[in-house]
């Protein structure tokens, strides 16, 4: 039986990111993926949030995405655009880029890191014991792994086989998405009717001054609500035609579909992100309405939270309990995503009462403080892991500052390219012996004279020293002489090595 330290079921955005993170940490991780390539039937995600761009920047790969997408103020809440151009980050914007391109770029990075992908086969089941997991594949083979991570999407067989509950809410709405030819020209743009929102666009478009400008040729992309949510059959051209006639009175002569798909606002979240040697990430752990564009972004960031922790446990540096911090930190993040998507779906319902509520929310979001708070939530820049009381940086993303070091200027995110933790001392050199952790944690004396500012929070006191985790979140803030530092290093990066 072929052995890997970690098997990842599913090579969508989450599985690819996790494979990259584990490979960077030197872990033998393999993906099992049903699809032959990263091509997708349908568009799915249309972009990256500011925090996901930062996460890619932390690994030195943000430029690959920025070179192919279009920078725009894409963060929004319930139809109100949230401008983040005043946020203290190098990436004070989102990026419009279709999911298939995001996946292709990620797959290229994973290939460079030489993480294997078993393609055109499925994980059909598994059996876990005290020492590992036998992962059964559709071609009759089995793989042996220490851990199995289900990144296999909303219908996750890993979650179901592990018997992990997926509580939540059934769909209250359902819409068809399609790319088709038409015999009549439909009215391009977004329309609101008593049935809900429908839209017509061209496959080919540009973003000019932050606005979508369609190129007037090529196939038409349609979004149209269905009368009844909850259908489990595959959508067809007939379903599309019927939905269009119900909403628009005509189907514009739709024919020759390239693809037809359906999305709903079903909102469910795994009760546990870990059961023994089985872990869940991405859509396997949480599904919700695509409104606000948060699914892919949340999945990629799940992977970045989990990767370094799983690597340390596999290497024997940290106890298995470190994996429990993955659920503790990421479950609340996706719970908030479910909550904000459910609120946005409610605010999108047809009717004058809902319109009044939507208008009032829009008015609130014109005010600076609510705008900043919601923009921090929707862009992912406001994520705060509860690591206890302390400095405002604790549990928040480390800003990408321009440090001055004895070797010259250095950006903080450059320090994270290899996904290793860093202890940055910004006070006088000396005062702490890093030697017992030097094999795992990089130590750096640096200077920074500028303001310390966090999105939606504003200026915070300059710290004397910060311990930055591989995922870019601050694990400890203080002075190198404080006794808590050795404890924080042990908690996050394992006990000191024997002298």
Ligand X SMILES: Cc1cc2nc3c(=O)[nH]c(=O)nc-3n(C[C@H](O)[C@H](O)[C@H](O)COP(=O)(O)OP(=O)(O)OC[C@H]3O[C@@H](n4cnc5c(N)ncnc54)[C@H](O)[C@@H]3O)c2cc1C
User: What does the DSSP 8-state code read for residue 203?
Assistant: S
Nearer to ligand X, 70 or 99 (CB): 99
Beta strand 408-411 with 402-405: parallel, antiparallel or unpaired? Answer: antiparallel
- Among the residue ranges 30-38, 269-277, 368-376, 412-420, the one whose residues contact ligand X (CB under 6 A): 30-38
Q: Does 197 bind ligand X (CB under 6 A)?
A: no
Q: Does 383 bind ligand X (CB under 6 A)?
A: no
- Among the residue ranges 11-19, 180-188, 268-276, 432-440, the one whose residues contact ligand X (CB under 6 A): 11-19
Residue 107 exposure: Cα atoms within 13 Å on the Cβ side: 19
C-beta of 115: minimal distance to ligand X in Å?
15
Among 146, 241, 294, 341, binds ligand X (CB under 6 A): 294
C-beta of 151: minimal distance to ligand X in Å?
5
- Among the residue ranges 89-97, 148-156, 224-232, 433-441, the one whose residues contact ligand X (CB under 6 A): 148-156
Q: Does 152 bind ligand X (CB under 6 A)?
A: yes
What does the CA dihedral 307, 310, 311, 313 come to, rounded to 10 degrees?
Answer: 160
CA 252, 253, 259, 263 torsion-angle sign: positive
CA diameter of the chain: 79
C-beta of 153: minimal distance to ligand X in Å?
3
Query: Do residues 220 and 186 make contact, with C-beta atoms less than 8 angstroms apart?
Result: yes
Nearer to ligand X, 146 or 379 (CB): 379
Both tokens of 183, joined, read 């015999």
Nearer to ligand X, 41 or 356 (CB): 41
Both tokens of 238, joined, read 């007939």
C-beta of 297: minimal distance to ligand X in Å?
4
Q: Does 18 bind ligand X (CB under 6 A)?
A: no
C-beta of 422: minimal distance to ligand X in Å?
28
Burial label for 53, CB within 10 Å (0-12, 13-18, 19+), is: buried
C-beta of 287: minimal distance to ligand X in Å?
8
Query: Do residues 401 and 90 make contact, with C-beta atoms less than 8 angstroms apart?
Result: no
Q: Does 33 bind ligand X (CB under 6 A)?
A: yes
Q: Name the packing angle between helices 295-315 and 324-348 (round to 10°).
A: 180
Q: Does 177 bind ligand X (CB under 6 A)?
A: yes
Q: Does 69 bind ligand X (CB under 6 A)?
A: no
Residue 361 exposure: Cα atoms within 13 Å on the Cβ side: 20
Q: Does 267 bind ligand X (CB under 6 A)?
A: no
Among 70, 92, 146, 297, binds ligand X (CB under 6 A): 297
Q: Does 299 bind ligand X (CB under 6 A)?
A: yes
Among 9, 254, 310, 365, binds ligand X (CB under 6 A): 9
- Among the residue ranges 33-41, 56-64, 269-277, 335-343, the one whose residues contact ligand X (CB under 6 A): 33-41
Q: Does 401 bind ligand X (CB under 6 A)?
A: no
- Among the residue ranges 183-191, 289-297, 406-414, 450-458, the one whose residues contact ligand X (CB under 6 A): 289-297
Burial label for 207, CB within 10 Å (0-12, 13-18, 19+), is: middle
Q: Does 235 bind ligand X (CB under 6 A)?
A: no
Both tokens of 193, joined, read 């009717």
Report angle CA 268, 269, 270 to the nearest 5 degrees: 130
C-beta of 46: minimal distance to ligand X in Å?
4
Among 5, 20, 47, 358, binds ligand X (CB under 6 A): 47
C-beta of 10: minimal distance to ligand X in Å?
3
Query: Do residues 348 and 197 make contact, with C-beta atoms less than 8 angstroms apart?
Result: yes
Q: Considering only CA atoms, which of 193, 228, 223 is closest in space to residue 351?
A: 193
Tell the residue number behind the tokens 């007939």, with chain if given.
238
Q: Does 290 bind ligand X (CB under 6 A)?
A: yes
Among 58, 70, 92, 99, binds ligand X (CB under 6 A): 99
Separation of alpha carbons 154 and 458, rounded Å? 37
Main-chain dihedrals φ then ψ at residue 422, nearest 5 degrees = -135, 135
C-beta of 283: minimal distance to ligand X in Å?
4
Tell the residue number behind the tokens 């429990």, with chain if given.
324
Tell the residue number behind the tokens 């705008």, with chain if given.
371
User: Using CB under 6 A as the criterion, which residues of the chain lie in contact with ligand X when the complex forms?
Assistant: 9-15, 32-35, 44-47, 99, 122-123, 151-153, 157, 177, 263, 282-283, 290, 293-297, 299
């Amino acid at each position: 039986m072929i052995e890997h330290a970690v098997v990842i079921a599913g090579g969508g955005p989450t599985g690819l990111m996790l494979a990259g993170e584990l490979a960077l940490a030197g872990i033998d991780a393999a993906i099992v993926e049903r699809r032959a390539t990263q091509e997708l039937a349908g568009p799915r995600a249309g972009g990256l949030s500011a925090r996901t761009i930062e996460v890619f920047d932390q690994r030195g790969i943000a430029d690959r995405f920025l070179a192919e997408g279009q920078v725009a103020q894409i963060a929004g809440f319930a139809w109100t655009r949230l401008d983040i151009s005043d946020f203290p980050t190098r990436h004070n914007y989102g990026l419009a880029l279709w999911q298939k391109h995001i996946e292709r770029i990620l797959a290229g990075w994973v290939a460079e890191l030489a993480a294997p992908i078993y393609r055109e086969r499925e994980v059909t089941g598994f059996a876990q014991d005290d020492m590992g997991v036998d992962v059964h594949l559709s071609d009759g083979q089995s793989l042996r792994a220490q851990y199995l991570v289900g990144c296999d999407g909303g219908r996750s067989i890993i979650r179901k086989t592990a018997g992990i509950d997926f509580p939540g809410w059934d769909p209250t709405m359902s819409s068809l998405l399609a790319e088709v030819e038409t015999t009549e020209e439909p009215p391009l743009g977004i329309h609101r009717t008593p049935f809900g929102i429908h839209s017509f666009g061209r496959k080919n478009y540009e973003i000019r001054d932050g606005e979508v400008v369609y190129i007037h040729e090529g196939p038409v992309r349609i979004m149209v609500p269905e009368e009844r949510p909850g259908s489990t059959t595959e959508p067809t051209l007939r379903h599309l035609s019927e939905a269009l006639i119900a909403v628009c009175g005509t189907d514009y002569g739709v024919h020759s579909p390239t693809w037809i798909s359906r999305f709903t606002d079903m909102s469910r979240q795994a009760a546990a992100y870990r059961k023994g040697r089985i872990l869940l990430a991405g859509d396997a752990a949480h599904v919700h309405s695509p409104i606000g564009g948060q699914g892919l972004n949340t999945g990629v960031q799940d992977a970045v939270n989990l990767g370094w922790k799983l690597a340390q446990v596999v290497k024997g540096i940290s106890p298995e309990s470190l994996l429990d911090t993955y659920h503790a930190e990421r479950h609340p993040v996706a719970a908030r995503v479910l909550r904000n998507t459910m609120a946005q779906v409610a605010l999108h319902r047809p009717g004058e009462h809902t319109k009044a509520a939507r208008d009032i929310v829009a008015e609130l979001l014109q005010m600076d403080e609510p705008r900043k708070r919601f923009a921090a939530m929707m862009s992912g820049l406001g994520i705060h892991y509860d690591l206890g009381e302390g400095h405002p940086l604790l549990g928040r993303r480390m800003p990408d500052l321009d440090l001055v070091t004895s070797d010259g200027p250095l950006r903080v995110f450059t320090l994270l390219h290899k996904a290793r933790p860093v202890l940055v001392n910004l006070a006088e050199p000396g005062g702490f012996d890093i030697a017992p952790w030097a094999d795992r944690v990089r130590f750096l004396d640096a200077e920074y004279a500028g303001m310390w500012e966090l999105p939606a929070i504003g200026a915070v006191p300059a710290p004397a020293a910060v311990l930055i985790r591989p995922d870019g979140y601050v694990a400890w803030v203080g002075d190198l002489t404080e006794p808590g530092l050795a404890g924080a290093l042990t908690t996050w990066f394992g006990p000191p090595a024997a002298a």
